[in-house]
A and B are shown apart, each in its own frame.
Chain A
Amino acid sequence: MIVRILNVVIDGLLMGGIYALIAMGLSLQYGVARVFNISHGEFIMLGAFATWLLYTAFGINPLVSLAIVGPIVFIIGFLLHRTLFTSLRIRSASPAAYEGSSLLASFGLLFIIQYIALAIWGNALKGYTYLSVPVNIGGALFAANRMVTLAFAVGIGLVFYFFLARTHLGKAIRAAAQDPATAGLMGVNINLVLALCFGFGALMAGIAGSLLSMCFPVYATMGLQYTIIAIVVVVLGGLGSIPGSFLGGFIIGLIGSAMSYWQPGLAVAAYYLLFIILLLVRPAGILGKK
């Protein structure tokens, strides 16, 4: 019995690390850059495919790939914001209109990225084995690669938190999150900061994809399920709250793991019910400010 509970809890924490990373990315993109990026999961898919490709075609260690995939996805996200989303933002009459049009544009991106991937790789499952030796934690068995993913997710989360809290650029990002117009008046280069945030969001998604590819199969339509989870986590943690997203990731990981153990068919439904209840009861999230 204890081993079973341990299994559920550890599995929840391992998944939670990835969720936290993905949700922090979405939180940056929506909380700061005001783009409700439905194509977030597609960057996860791109990261996963890139890592798989580098490993199977060139034999590059997936952990080394992180350093290659991350910057590439960051640049894609940065350029997308500089071109597509910035021109949308300038044209929009109001912040609300921008949220609507950027949401729809990101739906377009979702289809573009996903179907390019489908056209190249088809819809078969891809995968490789890396560090799949079992590790025994108090009787519960887990693959070593999943421990690695948790360590990386937590590490990146902490680094980013200190980046936000301690550096000059981090301060500019926090200012832009509170009030973009005023931050611009205070000398923050707002277009650059928003594009950087969008890029960082994509970077976290890409790295999460890299990490996921070590443990799970990779396929072209894998993205949307993670986007959905990220949305729930972001709402749970509070919009624009990075610590909230980090914490929320682990909470959702634990809930998901418990649900999968008890009723696997209802896991997605449980996320949605939680999302609906949260929106109705506490729309500001657990760590969000009203």
Chain B
Amino acid sequence: MDRVRTIFKKPFLLGLLGLILALLATLPFYAPPYTPILLIGILMYIIITVSWVIFSGPTGYISLASAAFFGVGIYTSAILGKVLPLPIVVGIGGLLSFCLALLVGAITLRLRGIYFAIFTFGLVVLIKELLLYWEINITHTRGRFVVLESNNTIYYVLLIIFVLTMLTAYFIRRSKFGLALQSIGENEEAAAHMGVNVTMVKVITFAISAIFAGAAGAIMATRWTYIDPYVAFNPLLSFMPVLMAIFGGMGQLYGPIIGATIFAFLQEELTTKFPFYYMLIFGIVLVVTILFLPNGLVGLIPKLWRRSSGGQRANT
């Protein structure tokens, strides 16, 4: 566990994190009421993005299932929100996403690379189509109403999920498990020969990462009064985390946070005014990032650092 101890040896970093967390936790008491609403959107994207990075970052498997996990959370909330208290509903949302991811992981074990991406994307559309069929032909109701929660409640629940997501991401990264994931990403066959239980590691990590997207979906559903399969299983939510993570950079844990914050903020500001142009910008940034910033914004920092210090620190 000495890897884990390293962070506690840095009192400055720990203090800074504590301060940011304290500021975020007390925010609704002093900030204008619009701020928590903006932060709800940003936190939601950070959670989904980091949850995506936990599995896809080290392994290199491009998962497009985020929307499916998020949607499962939304539907859990829509169905159980009226009968069960909120924390339990959020927990069940996470648990059901975990189960779905376990199932998907077990089926897609044999698929590599591109097929995994297509399969997971297909999952989102398949669930959406089946739900639509169910609602139109069997229950004869299109969509559902969700019990509303106050913005502050949503904000605090998201903040708790955010902290749990970051802690999980941090500890997975720093553990033997994370090392195994990294080795799978570099060379899966070699990892298997080194004694890594490739299948188990992949499925468990994928399932754990899904919990957070599901829990986020369960709480976010209470912000929208009405949901239907189109809202809940919007494929865009599968692409957003990928772009945000790549744009921010996956080399450091704060990379996805930066990427998600920038895009969530842009989305809040631009979608209502210029819906078409926002998505156009989204596409252009995606292509430009892949072409010119393969390591994301975070990857730029060491480059700039080296340039500004004139190579003197290159040896240290």
Contacts and interface: CB of A to CB of B under 8 A. Distances in A.
A is bound by B? yes
Interface of A: 36, 84, 87-88, 91, 96-97, 99-101, 103-105, 107-112, 114-116, 118-119, 228, 231, 263, 265-266, 268-269, 272-273, 275-276, 279-280, 283
Contacts of A36: 114, 117-118
A128 to B, nearest CB: 24
A119 B117 CA distance: 29
Complex A-B, nearest 4 residue pairs according to Cβ-Cβ distance, in ascending order: A111-B283, A108-B286, A108-B287, A112-B283
B290 A108 contact: yes
A272 B127 CA distance: 10
Contact of A280 (B110, B126, B137, B287): B110
B291 A112 contact: no
B284 A112 contact: yes
Contacts of B125: 228, 268, 272
Nearest to B115: A279
A279 B276 CA distance: 35
Nearest to A224: B235
B290 A111 contact: no
A101 B129 contact: no
Given A88-B290, A103-B114, 14 more contacts: A36-B117, A100-B60, A104-B62, A105-B290, A108-B286, A108-B290, A110-B283, A111-B282, A115-B280, A119-B276, A266-B133, A273-B126, A276-B107, A283-B110
7 contacts: A88-B290, A101-B290, A101-B294, A108-B290, A115-B277, A231-B118, A268-B129
A269 B242 contact: no
Interface string B79-96: 000000000000000000
B38 interface: no
A118 B276 contact: yes
- Interface residue SS majority, chain A: helix
Given A88-B291, A109-B287, A115 B111 contact: no
B114 A99 contact: yes
Contacts of A228: 122, 125
Contacts of B311: none
B13 interface: no
Nearest to B61: A100
A276 B122 contact: yes
Interface residues of B, number: 37
B136 interface: yes
Contacts, number: 105
B164 interface: no
Contact of A105 (B118, B119, B130, B286): B286
A119 B283 CA distance: 14
A105 B288 CA distance: 9
Nearest to A113: B283
B239 to A, nearest CB: 6
A54 B119 CA distance: 38
A265 B129 CA distance: 8
Contact of B291 (A87, A107, A272): A87
Given A103-B62, A108-B284, A276 B119 contact: yes
Contacts of A103: 62, 114, 117
A290 B257 CA distance: 42
A269 B284 contact: no
Given A119-B280, A231-B118, A279-B119, A105 B287 contact: yes
B188 to A, nearest CB: 10
B277 A100 contact: no
A275 B122 contact: yes
Contacts of A99: 113-114
B245 to A, nearest CB: 11
Contact of B239 (A91, A107, A280): A107
Contacts of B282: 111
B276 A115 contact: yes
A228 B111 CA distance: 18
Given A36-B118, A279-B119, A108 B107 contact: no
B290 A280 contact: no
Contacts of B129: 265-266, 268-269, 272
A104 B113 contact: no
B4 interface: no
Contact of B130 (A87, A96, A269): A269
Contacts of A111: 279-280, 282-283, 286
B110 A115 contact: no
